[in-house]
Amino acid sequence: MDVLFSPPDITEREIAEVVDTLRSGWITTGPKTKLFEKNIAEFCHTSKAVCLNSATACSEMALRALGIGPGDEVITSAYTYTASASVVCHVGAKLVLVDTAENSHEMDYEKLEAAITEKTKAVIPVDLAGIVCDYNRIFEILERKKNLFRPTNKIQRKIGRVAVVADGAHAFGAVREGKKCGEIADFTSFSFHAVKNLTTAEGGAVVWKDIEGIDNEELYKQFMLFSLHGQSKDALAKTQLGAWEYDIIAPYYKCNMTDIMASIGLAQLERYPAILERRKELIKIYDEALEGENIQHLHHYGDDFSSSGHLYITHVLGKNREECNEIIRKMAEKGIATNVHYKPLPMLTAYKKLGFDIQDYPNAYRMFSNEITLPLHTKLTNEEVEYVIKSFKECIR
């Protein structure tokens, strides 16, 4: 039996929607992207959503919309995927990495508080595995540190403190205290990459909470300009007969979503409640089967929170990285694909070159040292999950 790690879950519904777009005569950013944005905003309980070609572009453009750049500092977690941090480098700001709390996947909030300076403009919390971070705690810290904040433009002044730009790449559809991921942080970006819960092959969306004194339509237009060369008219507007003329207001970027991608997303979003439900079922099977084993796993569901069930992260107690790699090899021999989330950023060449040292991130290192992620996706059958569980129990002995 071969068990894949995270294949895309594509049905005839997605295929029909893509074919409809291909036959329509309009394949790049147009009506389907606009409809997908509207549906995402409704789903997240926000006024607007912007769809771009990746979550990385969404986070980067959010930092740009906030006017963050050289001379500024942005803080994120050492225990995440590179994209949470690389976007800080893209805009030319200084990257500040904070260790996780002991035995936790979230930043150490005391260390976060200590890392805030007069130059800090944003914090990028990561809703790892689809579990929403403790934003009450984060906002409380930023309120307390408000006196240090030095806004340099209108949107920073209106927010009035360090901005929270969540990396919600895993967490589309997650909920905490009755609020959807997307209506909690100031800005939240989601990934629709092929391995994520909801996919458009590549793609992402950014949503934001209304900011008093900031016009949503203007902010939306700013994202449109950033994503399409700074061109005053989008491609659809330019095709109106006789309306050829446009201006370029700045030498901006190119990261728009196509209607082909959006059509996959429209079909996926319709199916999404059932997808979330199935992920919950699978997690329950894993949780129950691994009880009493030498395994620590995340809690995806509780009284006041429910994750998007993106990753089944486990920690094999008493094992080190070498031993876990051996378990991964044994699982592979049985045809089962597993993964590791994450090798902390200070262990990767790019971040070592920036001067980060894993010695300064002992908790993140400890989380990494015995981590194995089991397959979790909606193409997985109950029979396959049982096989993964049986094999995993054998391999960790």
Task: Name the site residues for ligand PLP (rule: CB under 6 A).
Answer: 54-56, 80-81, 83-84, 126, 167, 169-170, 191, 193, 204
Nearest to ligand PLP of 83, 290 (CB atom)? 83
| Least spacing, CB of residue 202 vs ligand PLP, in Å | 6
Output phi, psi for 94, to 5 deg. Answer: -85, 130
| Least spacing, CB of residue 151 vs ligand PLP, in Å | 27
How close are the terminal C-alpha atoms of the chain, in Å? Answer: 21
Burial class (CB in 10 A: 0-12, 13-18, 19+), 136: exposed
| Least spacing, CB of residue 368 vs ligand PLP, in Å | 15
Nearest to ligand PLP of 126, 175 (CB atom)? 126
Q: Which two tokens stand for residue 306?
A: 């429910």
Alpha-carbon gap, residue 230 to 259, rounded angstroms = 20
| Least spacing, CB of residue 93 vs ligand PLP, in Å | 17
Alpha-carbon gap, residue 194 to 6, rounded angstroms = 8
Q: Three-state SS for 298?
A: coil
The catalytic residue positions are 196
Nearest to ligand PLP of 51, 101 (CB atom)? 51
Angular region, 248: left φ>0, alpha ψ -120 to 50, beta rest = beta
Nearest to ligand PLP of 149, 223 (CB atom)? 223
Alpha-carbon gap, residue 368 to 296, rounded angstroms = 13
Alpha-carbon gap, residue 199 to 186, rounded angstroms = 24
Nearest to ligand PLP of 100, 391 (CB atom)? 100
Burial class (CB in 10 A: 0-12, 13-18, 19+), 94: middle
Specify whether the CB–CB gap between 156 and 121 falls below 8 A: yes
Which residue's entry shows tokens 């959010």? 62
Q: What is the β-pairing status of strands 49-52 and 204-208?
A: antiparallel
| Least spacing, CB of residue 316 vs ligand PLP, in Å | 22
The CA-atom distances, in angstroms, between 102 and each of 43, 106, 364, 365 are 34, 9, 8, 10
Nearest to ligand PLP of 126, 385 (CB atom)? 126
Q: What is the β-pairing status of strands 187-191 and 204-208?
A: antiparallel
| Least spacing, CB of residue 130 vs ligand PLP, in Å | 10
